[in-house]
């Protein structure tokens, strides 16, 4: 014998409330709901991680841009420092050149003054010696009756003394 046929509503009710399932399908729906929530949480967490990664990428880009700007500033400062140092070196070189020229001029003037003083001193000594020697020679000539030094010998000695004086003067002038 065949089981009696049930009406469609009764069959839906029977399927809803399966007599073999003590939870009547609630457990299955619970797990489905849990899986759906986990999927939503996973999607939300993925979006959060993407947002954090985007923010971190923008932060790193900003740091790189800042570092690039700092390199530009440092480069400009280095150029300014180099230019300032070059100007100082040039000014120092000009000052040193002016000082060297002034020193050379002062030394030349001092050497010329020293040479002139030496020439004047030597001429004065020569004049004084000539004035002292001339009376002695005259007295000797008178006493010796011209048997001593002759006039040409005295003239030769005077010329020799004058040559020595001129040689000394020339060397003093060359030293400047």
Contacts of 165 (CB under 8 A, 6+ apart): 122, 123, 126
Contacts of 11 (CB under 8 A, 6+ apart): none
Identify how many contiguous H helices and E strands the chain contains and give both numbers. 3, 0
Examine the pLDDT at 29 and tell me if it is beyond 90. Answer: no
pTM of the shown model: 0.35
Write down the pLDDT at residue 85: 92
pLDDT in tens, 56-79: 999 999 998 888 888 888 889 999
**Domain layout of the chain by residue ranges:** 24-175
pLDDT in tens, 87-105: 999 988 888 888 888 888 8
pLDDT in tens, 102-134: 888 888 889 888 888 888 888 888 888 888 888
Write down the pLDDT at residue 23: 60
Chain-wide mean pLDDT for the chain?
Answer: 81
DSSP 96: H
Examine the pLDDT at 84 and tell me if it is beyond 90. Answer: yes
């Amino acid at each position: 014998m065949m089981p009696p046929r049930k009406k469609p509503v009764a069959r839906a009710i029977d399927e809803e409330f399966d007599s073999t399932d003590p939870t009547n399908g609630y457990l299955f729906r619970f797990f489905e709901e849990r899986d759906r929530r986990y999927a939503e949480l996973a999607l939300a967490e993925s979006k959060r991680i993407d947002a954090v990664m985007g923010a971190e990428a923008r932060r790193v880009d900003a740091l790189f841009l800042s570092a690039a700007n700092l390199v530009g500033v440092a480069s400009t400062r280095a150029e300014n420092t180099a230019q300032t140092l070059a100007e100082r070196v040039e000014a120092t070189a000009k000052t040193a050149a002016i000082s060297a020229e002034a020193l050379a001029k002062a030394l030349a003037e001092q050497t010329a003054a020293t040479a002139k003083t030496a020439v004047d001193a030597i001429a004065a000594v020569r004049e004084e010696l000539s004035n002292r020697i001339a009376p002695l020679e005259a007295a000797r000539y008178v006493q010796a009756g011209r048997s001593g030094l002759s006039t040409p010998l005295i003239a030769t000695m005077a010329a020799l003394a004058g040559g020595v004086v001129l040689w000394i003067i020339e060397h003093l002038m060359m030293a400047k």
